[in-house]
Structure formats: structure tokens, C-alpha cells
Amino acid sequence: MKLTKFVLAVLLTSTIGAMAAMAQQTLDTATVDLTSLGTTTVTSLTGVAGTISAIGCVVTTPVTGTPGASIEVTINGNSKTYTIYSGSNTFVSSMQPFEASVNSPLAGGAFQGDSFLIPYGTAYGFSLTISVFANGGATTGMLTCSALR
């Protein structure tokens, strides 16, 4: 009985420690409504230095309709845009290498829990901005996007 309690305590402590370590790695998080036209800023930093290790989003509300969405990363004035959705409720094919979790045998992006993670590993010296643009074409759909350091 004492051994069981000890093992459970160790597992619980390890899990909490791992969760805390992951939380420390999150730079910023934002919720993106795919049914609304507009831009959501995930993070915007100026005058600081660091490294962005990855950018990711998870579907928090299933996506229906014909959404269009892209994520733009600007580091020290240089921008790169990744298209996420383009008139379909599944991630575009160029996002498939970055899919981290898919709940459909055909393609990810439509179901709650579907996610992608774009590895970066890039230092920013004076500015970092990450924004997600949605065209409002979705009938339903929400993403939670994060910048990780």
C-alpha cells in the first residue's frame, strides 16, 4: 500500500513538472475565430531578443464551411506566410508535414484536436510578430495558436 502511494505520488509529481516545463515554453497564445474576417495577433514583441522554437495551432471547435486562413511570422522585419485553410475545412496539403495530430483518416484540420506544429528554431533580435488572418468563410471553427520558445 505504501509503495503504491509512493509510485502514484512520483507519477503525479512528474506529470505536474512536465506540464510546468511545457507552460514555461509557451511565449503567447491566442484564440482565432475562423467565422470572422480579421487578423488575430498571437504575439508581438519589440526590443527583446530570444528564440522562437515553434508555432502551432490546435482546432478547439470543429471547422465547417469554406474557411480561408493563414499565419504570418515576422522576425526582425522579414516575413513568411503559411496558408492553413484555402476554401476547405481541412489543412492545405503544404501543412501536412507539420500536422501533429489528426482525427481523420483523410486529412486534418476539421476536427477538434487536429493540430499542426511548425518548427522554427530562429532567433529574433529586436522584433517578433505572429498573426493569423481569417477570411470569415467558416460556418463554425476556432483555433488556439501558440508561439513556443
pLDDT at 29 over 70: yes
Contact by Cβ (8 Å): 114, 34: no
Q: Between 122 and 15, name the one with better pLDDT.
A: 122
How confident is the model at residue 82, as a pLDDT?
95
Q: Does domain 27-148 have CATH number 2.60.120?
A: yes
Residue 105, judged by CB atoms within 10 A of its CB (0-12, 13-18, 19+), counts as exposed
The chain-wide mean pLDDT, for the chain, equals 82
Per-domain residue ranges of the chain = 27-148
Residues whose CB is less than 8 angstroms from the CB of residue 130 and which lie 6 or more positions away in sequence, other chains included = 28, 41, 42, 43, 44, 52, 55, 71, 72, 73, 74, 145, 147
Q: In which band, very low, low, confident or very high, does the pLDDT at 125 lie, cut at 50, 70 and 90?
A: confident
* Distance, CA of 146 to CA of 27 (rounded, Å): 7
Candidate from 8-12, 51-55, 111-115, 122-126 with smallest mean pLDDT? 8-12
Q: What does the pLDDT read at residue 7?
A: 32
pTM of the model as a whole: 0.79
Residue 15 clears pLDDT 70, i.e. is over it: no
